[in-house]
């Protein structure tokens, strides 16, 4: 079992087999395209997905209405909103909202990191204003969850792993939703999280390849995904299983799948992506420390792209 962003490294190490025949067909026919893409490389299928992987929004329904949660800016007017600005898995959502890209569609290494220019500056200027908003709280080391408990935070961003703790904090007021829009340059732009999957792969050096492939397909089958959900609350990705009433009525399952299908981009898993995480994290820290300002944001965002691309080249 592997997270799909490890796929490139597994292929390079000859540690995972291509899947063909009915197994590949099962993957293609039973999953949303986003999930299929997450386990594909150069057109070949390398894993049988069993769950999606992304982040979305938790909020207090006593503070925000279903209309409010469509807009990050409206939420900042009505309550306290927390976001981890120095989290390099989450900060890019603001860049993606304004049409910045990483490795083109996520698979083109030569395209590199395109977070600079006017698009990048506008995205960063929004984040600067957000951080300076008195209703914004940076999420650090679980502070957002603690804030939900004591009422000092009314919305936060995380994944399925946080649901039980959020439910404990908010009770019947627990709300879960896909990502809101942000107002950049006078336009509503859609925040977009990374999306991926967790999947089952097969060792290409297995002495019992046919049995190993059959086991992988079983572990990603509708029956197994339903069991994963019932026993461990792992959200299925199989489209047939998602139609089960118990899952259709699960607010977390709905939020995760709405996010993956409507407000996300495929997390790049090209090998050069490994060198992008640190520059983005450091850039988020620089925003929080007020080292990035409206006056220097154009210069700083170009330096971010240059730094990430230089790291990539090295």
Ranges in the chain annotated CATH 3.40.190.10: 2-54+197-266, 56-193+268-313
- pLDDT category of residue 92 using cuts at 50, 70 and 90: very high
Strands 187-190 and 193-200, sheet pairing: unpaired
pLDDT, average across residues 21-43:
94
**DSSP secondary structure of 295-310:** TTHHHHHHHHHHHHHH
- Which residues lie across from 53 on neighbouring strands? 196
- pLDDT category of residue 311 using cuts at 50, 70 and 90: low
The CATH label, of 3.40.50.620, 3.30.420.40, 3.30.565.10, 3.40.190.10, for the domain at 2-54+197-266 is 3.40.190.10
**pLDDT, tens digit (0-9, with 9 covering 90-100), for 208-254:** 999 999 999 999 999 999 999 999 889 999 999 999 998 989 999 99
Q: Is it the case that residue 312 has pLDDT exceeding 70? A: no
Q: Is it the case that residue 82 has pLDDT exceeding 90? A: yes
**pLDDT, tens digit (0-9, with 9 covering 90-100), for 249-305:** 999 999 999 999 899 999 998 888 888 999 999 999 999 999 999 999 999 999 999
pLDDT, average across residues 303-311:
87
Burial 139-171 (b: 16+ CB within 10 A, else e): beeebbbebbeeeebbbbbbbbebbebbbebbe
Q: Which of 91, 286, 98, 297 is nearest to 193 (CA)?
A: 91
Q: pTM to 2 decimals? A: 0.91
Tell me which fold the domain 56-193+268-313 belongs to.
Answer: D-Maltodextrin-Binding Protein; domain 2 (3.40.190)
pLDDT, average across residues 101-117:
91
For residues 194 and 267, the answer to whether their CB atoms sit within 8 Å is yes
55: number of Cβ within 10 Å: 24
Q: Is it the case that residue 1 has pLDDT exceeding 90? A: yes
What φ, ψ does residue 306 adopt, rounded to 5°? -60, -45
pLDDT, average across residues 97-124:
93
CA triple 176-252-133, angle to 5 deg: 30
Q: What percent of the chain has pLDDT over 90?
A: 88
For residues 123 and 65, the answer to whether their CB atoms sit within 8 Å is no
Q: Which residue has the higher pLDDT, 62 or 275?
A: 62
Q: Is it the case that residue 314 has pLDDT exceeding 50? A: no
**pLDDT, tens digit (0-9, with 9 covering 90-100), for 147-196:** 999 999 999 999 999 999 999 999 999 999 999 999 999 999 999 999 99
Q: 292: Cβ–Cβ under 8 A, 6 or more apart, which residues? A: 124, 128, 283, 286, 300
Q: Which of 232, 255, 201, 194 is nearest to 53 (CA)?
A: 194
Q: Which of 277, 195, 272, 205 is nearest to 237 (CA)?
A: 195
Mean pLDDT over the full length of the chain: 95
């Amino acid at each position: 079992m592997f997270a799909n962003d490890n796929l490139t490294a597994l292929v390079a190490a000859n540690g995972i087999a291509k899947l063909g025949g009915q197994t590949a067909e099962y993957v293609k026919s039973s999953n949303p395209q986003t999930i299929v893409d997450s386990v594909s490389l150069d057109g070949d299928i390398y894993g049988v997905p069993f769950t999606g992987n992304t982040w979305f929004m938790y909020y207090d329904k006593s503070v925000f209405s279903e209309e409010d949660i469509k807009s990050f800016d409206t939420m900042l007017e009505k309550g306290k909103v927390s976001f981890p600005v120095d989290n390099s898995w989450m900060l890019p959502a603001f860049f993606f909202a304004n049409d910045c890209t990483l490795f083109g569609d996520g698979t083109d290494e030569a395209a590199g990191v395109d977070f600079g220019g006017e698009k990048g500056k506008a995205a960063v200027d929004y984040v600067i204003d957000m951080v300076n908003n008195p209703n914004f709280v940076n999420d650090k080391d679980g502070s957002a969850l603690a804030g939900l408990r004591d009422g000092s935070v009314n919305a936060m961003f995380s994944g399925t792993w946080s649901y039980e703790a959020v439910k404990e904090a908010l009770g019947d007021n627990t709300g879960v939703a896909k990502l809101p829009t942000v107002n950049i340059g006078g336009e509503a732009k859609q925040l977009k999280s990374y999306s991926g999957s967790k999947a089952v792969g097969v060792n290409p050096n297995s002495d019992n390849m046919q049995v190993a492939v059959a086991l992988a397909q079983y572990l990603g089958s509708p029956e197994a995904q339903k069991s994963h959900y019932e026993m461990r609350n792992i959200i299925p990705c199989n489209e047939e299983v998602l139609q089960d009433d118990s899952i259709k009525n699960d607010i977390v399952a709905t939020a995760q799948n709405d996010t993956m299908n409507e407000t996300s981009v495929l997390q790049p898993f090209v090998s050069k992506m490994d060198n992008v995480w640190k520059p983005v994290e450091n850039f988020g820290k620089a925003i929080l420390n007020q080292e990035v300002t409206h006056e220097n944001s154009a210069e700083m965002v170009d330096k971010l792209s240059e730094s990430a691309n230089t790291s990539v080249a090295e």
